Amino acid sequence: MKTHKLNILYVLKKNKTRINGTLPLQRRVTYLGKRKQFATGQFINPNYWYSKYQLAKPPNDENNHINTQLSLIKSKINRAFLLLQVKDDEFSAADVYNQFVGKRTASERILLDAFDYHINRIQQLVHIEVKQVSVEKYNQSLVHVKSFLKFKFNKRDYLLKNLKLNFLIELETTCILVNIK
């Protein structure tokens, strides 16, 4: 198993200065040469931030709180990274972020979530580009897919990464021949 290093860096977002002179601290996760940068929710006076040490100094209540929060965030990111490494699948910096915030990674996305996402998008277009009957047909297709998954695989859902043409052919054939409900 080949291992790669995860880099976590905290940087000041200098173009977002607040009225009181503080700047937001962003965390930057780099893995396999790809970056994912996102907010920490922490704001600091730039005179107190030492990027070389990744710490707020001098020690006082506010800076100690910021350092504690950053340490906690870093440990949660490392935990998310370790969980992805244990799965032994390929992943990216964005997947580390998704694991950190509790979202599914790209390799864990499931069929029924994709269906729900599509149906919700179509629902928003009712009376604009599509008719309500189209949404009802998509919902009926969802019912058929759920029945097929239960019938064929005895599962409630299916990983999108495992979806192959054969799955769709079997779905179509089973729905026509057996008329599953």
Burial 117-156 (b: 16+ CB within 10 A, else e): eebeebeeeeeeeeeeeebeeeeeebebbbbbbeeeeeee
Q: Domain check: are 95 and 21 in the same one?
A: yes
If you average pLDDT over residues 127-145, what whole number do you get? 87
Looking at every residue in the chain, the average pLDDT score rounds to 84
pLDDT of residue 180 exceeding 60, the answer is: no
Model pLDDT for residues 88-113, shown as the tens digit of each residue: 677 888 888 888 887 766 656 778 78
Residue 36 included in any domain: yes
Q: How many distinct structural domains can be found in the chain?
A: 2
Q: Would you tell me the crossing angle of helices 111-124 and 132-148 to the nearest 10 degrees?
A: 170
In a shared domain, residues 25 and 99: yes
Residue 15 lies in a domain: yes
pLDDT digits (tens, 9 = 90+) for 140-149: 888 888 888 8
Stated pTM of the model = 0.60
Check whether residue 101 and residue 150 sit in a common domain: no
Tell whether 134 and 59 lie within a shared domain.
no
Strands lying side by side in the sheet with 34-44:
6-12, 23-31, 34-44
Higher pLDDT, 72 or 90: 72
Q: What is the mean pLDDT of residues 124-148?
A: 87
